Amino acid sequence: MPDAMLHPEFETLTPEATRRVQDDKWARQWAYVLAASDFYRDALRGVSGKAVTLDGIAELPFTGKDELRLSQERLSPFGDHIACGADRVVRVHRTSGTTGRALQVANSRRDVDTIARIGGRSQFCAGLRPGDRVVHCLNYCMWTGGVTDHMTLEETGACVVPFGVGNTRLLLDTIADLGVTAISCTPSYPALLEKLLRGEGRDPRELKLRLGLFGGEAGLDNIEFRQSMEDVWGFGVRNANYGMSEVMSNFASQCEHSNDLHFHGADAVFVELIDAAGSAVSIREGAVGELVCTHVEKECQPLLRYRTRDVVTVTGTGPCDCGRTTWRFRVTGRTDDMFNVRGINVFPTAVQTGVMSRPDLASGQFRIVLAGAGPWDRIVVRAEAAHGLDAADYAGAARALEAAIRQHAGASAEVTLLPPDSLPRTDGKTALIERTPS
């Protein structure tokens, strides 16, 4: 299936052959990091004389985001974890995290090429092809969702229209004028476009888009949510974009045969899973663990055993129907967003899956309200009603959503329904939790 993959020679390697590629790159990367990174020379004082292999990598300490923040306080702006001269940096991004101080993410020419290579693999897997015209509607202001995602879209050979956010009227005209076939945006954005079109008595299918590429928010692995979007727009809906900018902005995406994310980044990132105690969890079907990433190819800000705080569930390790041999996963949630309700660990993404399982009742926009410091005895949720739902039916719909949340998140919920469009939309990741004083 040569036209099914951007890099079939890599994407169909056996796990053993993939590992040989990683071992090879790691041997060079390990020597480079020790020689060039002040941050790691310090952190690895005890092991720096040894040739540590990927098999033995668990003996190295973890790296956390807070340590990178401190590193950038010590040496502004890029931190003492920079491993090359600052004059090698060709692109700078800021992390878009919702908590803590933003990180400055620096990339060299080689890093930028690696990110495009792997991100391109992701977008291609999600269905983008040469001959497509894709309009990219994420914020270009500093975060990786803008220009870096743009470069990954271009890497597929498709024609990319750099649109950014806002100006929806011009967007609708541009799609028609240029014969645009695909849109790349946040999953909540099409609802806004739909509203504008319906207000003019138009049907979203008139735009003739064949593919929707999404990222930046969780909830996309919800089949009901995707199905309802596909019904409205007539396009295929894919999660085309999973990653984190300090590691690799896009290293996983869905193919047309699976609801799960293929890991595409093995030739730049070595992945481990760990449990809550920090012990290794092997990557096999059904395994759940926090994603820990080590660069095997990175020039500017190489990271070793970086704790991403994202908890994933491994859903497949054998070959997929698309022909790729890469392992698949779903994102279960984030360790730092997790909260406890009557002894049950609840991930906001599980609540989201519950809300999105009822597109007939809810728009998909919602907030979890955590009052005070806890403990909490139920999940308090403010959710927007679906467009067209009669206000007289809100109470009944709220009870049905409570049942759906309970089913997916495992704890009781108390839902208040709000009119559609009453919660603010954001250009980047939306924080699903609102913390209030008790």
Cβ closest to Zn ion, residue 55 vs residue 321? 321
CB of 322 to Zn ion, least distance (A): 3
How big is the site for Zn ion, counted in residues (CB under 5 A)?
Answer: 6
CB of 256 to Zn ion, least distance (A): 8
φ and ψ at residue 393, rounded to 5 degrees? -95, 5
Determine the angle formed by the axes of helices 348-356 and 394-409, rounding to 10 degrees.
Answer: 130
Instruction: Tell me how many degrees the CA angle 22-25-26 measures, rounded to the nearest 5.
Output: 80
The token pair at 343 is 């002894």
The contact mask relative to Zn ion for 154-183 (x = CB under 5 A, - = no) is ------------------------------
Stretch that binds Zn ion, among 83-91, 107-115, 256-264, 392-400 (CB under 5 A): 256-264
Cβ closest to Zn ion, residue 320 vs residue 417? 320
CB of 11 to Zn ion, least distance (A): 9
H helix runs in 137-185, sequence order: 147-155, 168-178
Element of type H or E holding 32: helix 15-36
Rounded CA separation 336/99 (Å):
10
Cβ closest to Zn ion, residue 93 vs residue 324? 324
Cβ closest to Zn ion, residue 261 vs residue 380? 261
The end-to-end CA distance of the chain, in Å, is 57
CB of 294 to Zn ion, least distance (A): 25
The contact mask relative to Zn ion for 202-241 (x = CB under 5 A, - = no) is ----------------------------------------
Return the residues of window 83-112 that contact Zn ion according to CB under 5 A.
none
Whether 219 and 356 have beta carbons less than 8 Å apart is answered as yes
Q: Which of 44, 68, 105, 320 binds Zn ion (CB under 5 A)?
A: 320
CB of 239 to Zn ion, least distance (A): 12
Tell me if residue 66 falls in helix, strand or coil.
helix
φ and ψ at residue 404, rounded to 5 degrees? -65, -40
CB of 110 to Zn ion, least distance (A): 29
Rounded CA separation 390/106 (Å):
50
Q: Which residues contact 326 (CB under 8 A, 6 or more apart)?
A: 11, 18, 262, 263, 264, 266, 320
How deeply is 438 buried, as exposed, middle or buried, from its count of CB atoms within 10 A (0-12, 13-18, 19+)? exposed
φ and ψ at residue 413, rounded to 5 degrees? -130, 155
Tell me if residue 245 falls in helix, strand or coil.
coil
Stretch that binds Zn ion, among 65-73, 101-109, 248-256, 345-353 (CB under 5 A): 248-256
Locate the DSSP E strands across 127-218: 133-136, 159-162, 182-185, 211-215
The contact mask relative to Zn ion for 323-342 (x = CB under 5 A, - = no) is -x------------------
Cβ closest to Zn ion, residue 162 vs residue 323? 323
CB of 358 to Zn ion, least distance (A): 28
- 322 lies in the binding site for Zn ion (CB under 5 A): yes
CB of 263 to Zn ion, least distance (A): 11
Stretch that binds Zn ion, among 190-198, 312-320, 372-380, 392-400 (CB under 5 A): 312-320
How deeply is 60 buried, as exposed, middle or buried, from its count of CB atoms within 10 A (0-12, 13-18, 19+)? middle
Cβ closest to Zn ion, residue 117 vs residue 264? 264
- 255 lies in the binding site for Zn ion (CB under 5 A): yes
CB of 145 to Zn ion, least distance (A): 24
Return the residues of window 401-420 that contact Zn ion according to CB under 5 A.
none
Q: Which of 12, 48, 174, 258 binds Zn ion (CB under 5 A)?
A: 258
Residues that bind Zn ion (CB under 5 A): 255, 257-258, 320, 322, 324
